């Protein structure tokens, strides 16, 4: 039987593959926003996903999850007309920004849902 780590890796792989499926990102080339939204929505549905994606990117850059995200985002960066010498930099920036921002948004939404209606911003 697989341990918790192996199950999280498999679940992360499935969630990312589903979010970045060909159908999900089938918009016109250069639609980085659409790819980001696919990941944002997946992380919103699965709040545990952001730290798992980040961990896999950091600890195993050759993992299928990292490769899938890099290839999907990289194709969009290329389609935007970014110069070939900047593909890696642009893709890397997005690779780190998207899960981080999505994780923050998911955490804020979870926190907000636990507040009573009418709670002011300061509270």
What the chain holds in terms of domains, given with CATH numbers, is 4-113 (1.10.357.10)
Q: Cβ(30)–Cβ(92) under 8 Å?
A: no
Tell me the residue length of the chain: 123
Give the integer Cα–Cα distance in Å for 74 and 38: 15
Which distant-in-sequence residues (6+ apart) come within 8 Å of 79 by Cβ? 29, 30
pLDDT one-digit tens code per residue, 61-97: 888 999 999 999 998 899 889 999 999 999 999 988 8
pLDDT computed for residue 10 by the predictor: 92
Q: Show the DSSP H helices in 1-123 as ranges.
A: 4-19, 32-45, 49-59, 64-79, 87-113
Give the integer Cα–Cα distance in Å for 24 and 26: 6
pTM tops 0.85, yes or no: no
pLDDT confidence of 17, banded at 50, 70, 90?
Answer: very high
Q: Cβ(104)–Cβ(54) under 8 Å?
A: no
Which distant-in-sequence residues (6+ apart) come within 8 Å of 12 by Cβ? 49, 52, 53, 56, 65
């Amino acid at each position: 039987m697989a341990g918790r780590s192996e199950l999280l890796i498999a679940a992360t792989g499935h969630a990312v593959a589903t979010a970045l499926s060909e159908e999900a990102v089938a918009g016109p080339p250069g639609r980085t926003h659409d790819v980001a939204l696919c990941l944002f929505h997946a992380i919103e549905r699965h709040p545990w996903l952001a730290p798992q994606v980040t961990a896999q990117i950091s600890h195993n850059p050759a993992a299928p999850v990292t490769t899938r995200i890099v290839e999907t985002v990289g194709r969009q960066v290329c389609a935007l007309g970014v110069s070939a010498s900047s593909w890696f930099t642009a893709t890397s920036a997005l690779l780190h920004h998207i899960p981080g921002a999505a994780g923050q948004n998911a955490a804020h939404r979870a926190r907000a849902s636990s507040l009573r209606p009418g709670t002011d911003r300061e509270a």
